[in-house]
Amino acid sequence: MKRLEALDAAWRVSTPAERLRALRKAAAATRDELLSGGPVRACQTVKLQAFPYPSLYAFSGGATSPAPFVVMTNRMQVVQFLENGALKTLLFNPSDVERDRAATYYVDLARTMGLAQKPLEKLLMPSHGTVPQHLERLGLRPEDVDYVAYDHLHVQDLRRWLGGGEPAYFPKAKLLVTKAEWESTRDLHPMNAVWYVPHGCDGVPDDRVQLLEGSVQLAPGVAIVSTPGHTLGNMSLVVVTPQGPFVVSENGVSTESYTPLQSRIPGVRAYAERMGYEVVLNGNTREGSLDQYSSMIVEKLLAGPAPADPAYVAFAPSSELTSSMMAPGLSPTFSFTPPDCGTLARRA
């Protein structure tokens, strides 16, 4: 792994506006550095599970639709690269969609829905397959997985995959996680706890966890960069494909969150103009809003224009805003689909 020093240095600048200026320069230089290494060996994106999410948070209160929920769809990237000549497989955001429902947020939501829970779930939560189902379809075995990582640990339960008082589904996989995310998840502040699965990381053996400090290039065409804000130890995946780079996180819920002047979602453009904001935050957490804004600028510069329409950015939300009859006035204006590239292979 190679440190991406320019970004790390910019994050250490002490005042927020100066830090943002430093991050803009560092992100542009880092994009050039990542592009010069060429594309990743292989990457595929799959959909997992749709879920409802408060409209109030999705665009920080900027969208004017009275619908209480937007619909979002979880996605996972399967990335392969060479590390010292050996093939490595990374699953980015392999959400355990069955166990994630134990997050305090979902439990509270189910209680609010009451008798309407089952019919509403049918409408709001279509399933696109589990992690094991997708891996089998892609021809990969559990023992082929070397790394799992998440842009952040909201609503994640890692115990089935990595072993926490039970045999690990992935016998060899290590969790790549920032030190800040791991420490804050293992000892939750009350303002954070609602978004997490109680005890979702308990018992995961220490030798299954590889702590990251700062931003790193894992191999040519794939990097994990520090993008705090949505959570304290938030990070983003950067993948370079033959069509150009794309970036994954949940700092924004849609591609247009990064170019709100292009948004036709009622209210979003006017909100950004009124506030003088270049990006619109996914605003369910408040503790790191300044950093989150700066992180979104970093992501926007690393991603660059979307090939299909350069007015938008090649940003792929890890949970993407999805059109739904249950959320009128909250459909994405433009959807960036991360291009699949290369051919996934089993370990020899």
Binding site for Zn ion (CB under 5 A): 154
- Whichever of 156 and 259 has its CB closer to Zn ion, that residue is 156
> How many angstroms separate the CA atoms of 151 and 292, rounded?
13
CB 250, min distance to Zn ion, A = 5
Task: Report the b/e string of 226-240 with b at 16+ CB within 10 A.
Answer: bbbbbbbbbbbbbbb
Longest dimension (CA), the chain: 56
Q: What is the DSSP letter of 348?
A: -
Give the residue closest to Zn ion by C-beta. Answer: 154
CB 152, min distance to Zn ion, A = 5
Q: Which helix (H) or strand (E) holds 165?
A: none
- Whichever of 43 and 155 has its CB closer to Zn ion, that residue is 155
Q: Are 132 and 107 in contact (CB under 8 A)?
A: no
Q: Are 29 and 8 in contact (CB under 8 A)?
A: no
CB 60, min distance to Zn ion, A = 14
- Whichever of 75 and 154 has its CB closer to Zn ion, that residue is 154
CB 53, min distance to Zn ion, A = 9
- Whichever of 154 and 269 has its CB closer to Zn ion, that residue is 154
- Whichever of 134 and 154 has its CB closer to Zn ion, that residue is 154
CB 184, min distance to Zn ion, A = 13
Q: Are 109 and 52 in contact (CB under 8 A)?
A: yes
Return the sign of the alpha-carbon dihedral for residues 159, 162, 164, 168: positive
Give Cβ neighbours of residue 139 (< 8 Å, ≥ 6 apart). 344, 346
CB 183, min distance to Zn ion, A = 17
CB 230, min distance to Zn ion, A = 6
Q: In sequence order, what DSSP letters do the residues of 99-128 get, joined into one string?
A: GGGGSHHHHHHHHHHGGGHHHHHHHH--B-
- Whichever of 168 and 296 has its CB closer to Zn ion, that residue is 296
Q: Which helix (H) or strand (E) holds 140?
A: none
- Whichever of 150 and 169 has its CB closer to Zn ion, that residue is 150
